[in-house]
Amino acid sequence: MTGVWDEVRDLIDAGDVDPLVDRLVRLDDAERKAVAAELPGHIPVLRERAARMQLREWDMDEGEGNPEEWVSRWELPDGWPDLIRLAGAATISAVTGVVAWVNRREFSTWRFSARDAGFGHPEPVVRALAGRPAQWKADLAVRLAARVRGPRDAGAPLALAMLRHTGVEPPAVDPLVVAWVSGGPGSKSDPLFTSLMPRMFEAEGVGRELRQERLDPISPWLRTLSKRAAKSEDERETMLAGCVRRFLYGGTAQDLRFFVRLHDLLEPGAAEIAVRRRDYLRLLPAAPGTVAELALRHLRTLDDHDPADVVEALEALLFRAEAALARKGLTWLDQVARQAPKRVDDLVPALVTAFSHESYEVQGRAAQVARKHAKHMSPIAAEQVRQAVLSLPPALGAQVAEVFGGQVVDEEAVPAFEHPLLPEPVAPTPFPVVPTSSKELSALRESPWGWQVVERWLAAFVRLAGKERGELSTALSSYFSYPSLELFDRTEWAHAFEWQEAMARELATPGADTGIPLHRPGPDGEVVAEPRRDRLPGSGVTVLDLVLLRRCEEILTALKEDRLPPVLLATPTWSTWALDPETLLDRLAECQAAGATPLPADLQQALLRLPRGDHPEAAARAELLGSEAGHTAARWMTTGGLSDPTSGVGRFYREGGTEYDFDEREPTRVIDNLHLRPKLKATPTGLQLVDELLNEPPCWRRGDHGINTDWWTAVLPSHREIAAVYMLPYLSRWHWPRIDADHTAMLAAADGPAGPATAAILAHFLTQPDAEVAVHSFVTMAARGDLPAREIGNQLGAYIHVEWVKPQQIADSLTAAAQLGAHREVWQVLEVLLPSLLPATGARPRPGLDKIVEIAVVVAEWTAARGEIPGCAELLAGKSRSALNRGLSRLHEYLTRP
C-alpha cells in the first residue's frame, strides 16, 4: 500500500485538487484505510514546508521573480489544510472520525486555491464522498451541522454543502443558521431555504450577522426576502410573524436592525397590524427605540383601539427616556383628548409622567398639552396636575400653575448640581523586573508579546551574556525551539524577534552568520562579492521602528565583536516608559568601571526616556564620569533635552486624480477619502538618531511601515506629540498596520505638550462606535491637566465633514466623558465645536447636530457656563422650530442670562 500513499501524498504536495479527488474516489476500502493511517504524520511535514515558504515570501519584493512561481509559492502555505482535510474526509471510515478530522484545530481555514474550486468552496470534498452510502452521508451532514460554532467556523461550508447534497433536515442549531445567512441568500433554488428561513427569526446571532444590510441601495438578503414575500403569501406571513416574534424576544437595537428593515419592506396592511395589535402594544415599554417607534407607527394607523389599550400605550411611551418617542406620545395624547374630551381624565396620569421627563422639550410640550385641555379635566384630575407642578422646571411650572395652581419650584432653592469629580491621576508603577537568570529569561516566552517583553529580554540578554554565557545559550535553545532556517538568507530583518533569534544563534555558534553576499563590479570589470552584515530595513519601516531595530543591531554586532557592555542604558524604570536620571547614571558608571563603551543607539534612546526638564544634580554627576557618554548625558540634562516641536495636522483628498488641501479647496461632493498630512518642525540636537525622528514624516503609508506601532510612544515618552505626528497616516480604518483606540491610552500615559496631532488621534476615536478607551484617555488627560480640549474641538469639527462621522456618536462620547468628571473639559470642546457646525442662514443643518446641542445644554448647566455661542443668535432669529433650534434656544437663554 506504500505506492498508493506515495501517489496521494504527491498529489497533496503538488496542490492538484482535481487529480487528488479523482484518485481518492477510485480507492478501495483497504487503500482508504492505508492512506488514512499515513495522513496524521504528514501534517507536521506540510506545516514546516508552509512555514519555510511563508518566511521566504516575506523577503521577496513585490513584482520580483516569475508571476507563476509567485502564485504557486503562496498556494501551499494557504491551502495545505484544505488538501489534507479533503484526503482525510475521503478515506476515514467512521462518520465520527471524519467529523473529528475536518474540525481539527490545525485546519483553521477552509479554502481551495483560486485555480481550482474557488475560495471557501467544499465541492471537492462532496465529490470525493460521492461513493459513500446515502445514510452515511446523511449522518455525516447532521453531525457536521451540529458541530458548527459560528459563521466563521472552518467546518461550516462543508456542513452546509452536505446538507444540500443529502437533503436531510438540518438540526436545530443556532450557529448553523448564522453560518447559512453569512454566505448570502445564494441561488433561488437553495434547498436549505425552506428549512432555515423560518429559523432566521429565532436563531441567536442572525441579526448581528446581518446588521449591515441596507434598504438603499437594497442589500442581498433584504432584496431576496422581499421578492419571495411578494410571490408567496405563506412566506410573507412567516417573515412578518417572525419579525414581530423576534422583536418580542428582545435584543439590542443593533441586533434587531435587520428585522426592523425587513418589517418596513413587508409594509403590513391594516388587517395584519390589527391581528398583532397586542404584540405591538407590548413592544412600546421596553423595546429598543427603533422597534418601539415602528410599533407606534403601525398602531397609529388603526382607529378602533380599546381606550384602556391607548392609556396603557401612552403611559409606556411617556415613561421612556427617548425624547422623540415621548414627543410622539404627547402628540397622540393631544389627538385623543381633542377627539374625545370625556377621556381626558384617563390620560392625565400619563401626562403628568411627562412632567418628570429628562428632556426639557418634552416637559415643555407636556405643560402646553396640560394647559390646552385643562377645561375638560375633573377636579380630581386637575389636582393630579397641580401636585405634579413641582416636577417641572421653574419657568414651565409657573406657566402650569397659572391655570391649575400649585407650588412652583424655587429656582434659588434648587440644590447645585453635584458633578462627578475627575479621578485622581494614577501614579506610574515600576517597570516589570528584568530577568536575572537564564531560567527567568527563558520563562519570558510564556508572556504576551509586546514592547515590555522585548525591553526586558534585551536587558537580560546583555547582562547574562557576560555572566553566564553557557547557561544562557542553553536557555535560549528552548526559547527559539522552532528556529527560522532561512534567517541568515534574508537581507533585512524588520522584526525584533528576528534579531533576537540571531543573537541566540550567534551565542550558540559564533560566526554562524556569514553575511549576505553583495555583488559589485570590481576595478577590472569582474563581479566581486562582499559580505553584508547590516540587515536593517531600508524603506520598509518608519524611523520610529528603526530606533528599536538599531538597538538590536548594535547589540548583535557588539556580541560578534566581543564588546558587549555589562548593562543596557535605556531599559525603563517606570511603566510609562520613563527612565530615572539617577538610574541612568548608575548604568553609565557601571559601563565605565567595566571599561566598556555604551552602545550609541542605546544611549540616545535612554536620553529620550528621561523626564522632561533640566536635571542639574544628575548633570553634574554625569560630567564627573569623564567619558564621552557622560558628557553627552550632561549636556542633555543641562539644556532640558529635546525642545518641543511645532506640529500640525493638514487634510487633503483626491478628486479627479488630483490632490487638494482641504483648507484651500473644499470638495465638490461628499468624500470618504480624506487623508491627514502630518506636520513637524523641530530644532536639531546634534544626535543622529534623535534628529532623524525630527524629520517630517510622509503622509502616505508604504508597505509594512508601522509594524511596531505599539512601541512608538515608548520611544518618545516625554514627547508624545512627536509620536502622535507619526501615527496620523495610520488612522485609516481599512488598512493594516493601523493605529487603534489603545494608542490613545498610550498617548495619555506619556508626557509632554499635547498638540494638534494628539488631539486629532483622540478626536478620531471619540467618533467611533466603540469609544470607551478613547473616553477614558480623554478623562485621564483631563485629570492630569494635559488635555488639549479646544484643539480636540477643532479636530472634531474637521472630522464631522467626513460622511461616516456621526454627530450622535460624538455626543455619546462627550456625554460619557462628562459623566466621568470631565464636564469642564467637555464644555471647552463644545465651545469650539458648536460654532463650526452651525449652518449658515438658509442652509440645512447637518443631521444629528441637535444631539450635540442636547449634551451642550446639560454640560453648560453643570459648569455654570456663561457667554454666547458665535452665530447662535443669528440662527435663532429665523422662524424655524426644528429640534436643533429648540435646543439652541434653550442653550442661548441659559448662557446669556444675567
572 versus 74: the higher-pLDDT residue is 572
Q: Is the pLDDT of residue 551 over 90?
A: yes
Burial 301-328 (b: 16+ CB within 10 A, else e): eeeebeeeebbbbbbbbbbbebbebbbb
Cell readout for 502 is 540571531
> What pLDDT does residue 754 have?
96
Answer yes or no: are the C-beta atoms of 388 and 353 closer than 8 Å: no
Mean pLDDT of 719-743: 82
Mean pLDDT of 878-895: 81
Return the ∠ at Cα 387 (arms to 381 and 390), rounded to 5°: 140
Beta strands in 384-515 (DSSP E): none
95 versus 897: the higher-pLDDT residue is 95
Of 124-133, 322-331, 534-543, minimum mean pLDDT range? 534-543
Pick from 584, 625, 583: nearest CA to 607: 584
> What pLDDT does residue 79 have?
67
209: left (phi over 0), alpha (psi -120 to 50) or beta: alpha
Q: Is the pLDDT of residue 248 over 70?
A: yes
Instruction: Give the bridge partners for 148, in sequence order.
Output: none
Mean pLDDT of 644-666: 83
Amino acid (one-letter) located at 515: G
Q: Is the peptide bond before 217 cis (omega within 30 degrees of 0)?
A: yes
Cα separation of 484 and 773, whole Å? Answer: 37
Whose cell is 434648587? That residue is 414
3-state secondary structure 868-883: CCCCHHHHHCCCCCCH
Mean pLDDT of 84-104: 88
Answer yes or no: are the C-beta atoms of 631 and 623 closer than 8 Å: yes
> What pLDDT does residue 65 have?
40
> What pLDDT does residue 13 have?
82
> What pLDDT does residue 105 have?
67
Of 7-21, 106-120, 159-173, 237-251, minimum mean pLDDT range? 106-120
**Count of beta carbons in the 10 Å neighbourhood of residue 882:** 13
Confidence of residue 758 (pLDDT cuts 50, 70, 90): very high
Cα separation of 610 and 103, whole Å? Answer: 52
Residues 6+ apart with CB under 8 A from 224: 185
Say whether 670 sits in a helix, a strand or coil.
coil
> What pLDDT does residue 46 have?
78
3-state secondary structure 529-569: EEEECCCCCCCCCCHHHHHHHHHHHHHHHHHHCCCCCCCCC
**Count of beta carbons in the 10 Å neighbourhood of residue 539:** 8
Cell readout for 381 is 384630575
Q: Is the pLDDT of residue 861 over 80?
A: yes
Cα separation of 611 and 572, whole Å? Answer: 11
> What pLDDT does residue 116 have?
35
Answer yes or no: are the C-beta atoms of 200 and 238 closer than 8 Å: no
Highest mean pLDDT among 577-591, 656-670, 884-898: 577-591
Pick from 608, 637, 641: nearest CA to 624: 637
162-179: pLDDT as tens digits: 999 999 999 989 999 999
> What pLDDT does residue 852 have?
92
Of 105-114, 688-697, 837-846, minimum mean pLDDT range? 105-114
Q: Is the pLDDT of residue 673 over 70?
A: no
186: left (phi over 0), alpha (psi -120 to 50) or beta: left
Cell readout for 657 is 486624480
> What pLDDT does residue 450 have?
81
67-84: pLDDT as tens digits: 333 333 333 444 677 888
Average pLDDT, whole number, for the chain? 85
> What pLDDT does residue 55 have?
52
254-263: pLDDT as tens digits: 889 999 999 9
Confidence of residue 643 (pLDDT cuts 50, 70, 90): very high
701-721: pLDDT as tens digits: 654 445 678 889 999 999 999
> What pLDDT does residue 801 have?
73
Q: Is the pLDDT of residue 109 over 60?
A: no
CA 762, 767, 770, 775 dihedral sign is positive
182-227: pLDDT as tens digits: 888 877 788 999 999 999 999 999 998 998 888 888 989 999 999 9
Cα separation of 72 and 61, whole Å? Answer: 16
> What pLDDT does residue 463 have?
96
567 versus 653: the higher-pLDDT residue is 567
Q: Say what percent of the chain tops pLDDT 70.
A: 87
380-424: pLDDT as tens digits: 999 999 999 988 988 888 899 999 988 887 655 545 556 678 888
The CA–CA distances, whole Å, from 409 to 101, 371, 399, 767, 890 equal 74, 18, 12, 38, 19
Q: How many residues does the chain have?
A: 898
> What are the boundaries of each domain within the chain?
212-304, 315-407, 438-639, 696-896
Answer yes or no: are the C-beta atoms of 44 and 51 closer than 8 Å: no
Q: Is the pLDDT of residue 619 over 50?
A: yes
Answer yes or no: are the C-beta atoms of 541 and 704 closer than 8 Å: yes
Of 425-434, 558-567, 648-657, minimum mean pLDDT range? 648-657
> What pLDDT does residue 880 have?
67
Q: Is the pLDDT of residue 133 over 60?
A: yes
How far is CA 720 from its chain centroid? Answer: 22
440-463: pLDDT as tens digits: 998 887 776 788 999 999 999 999
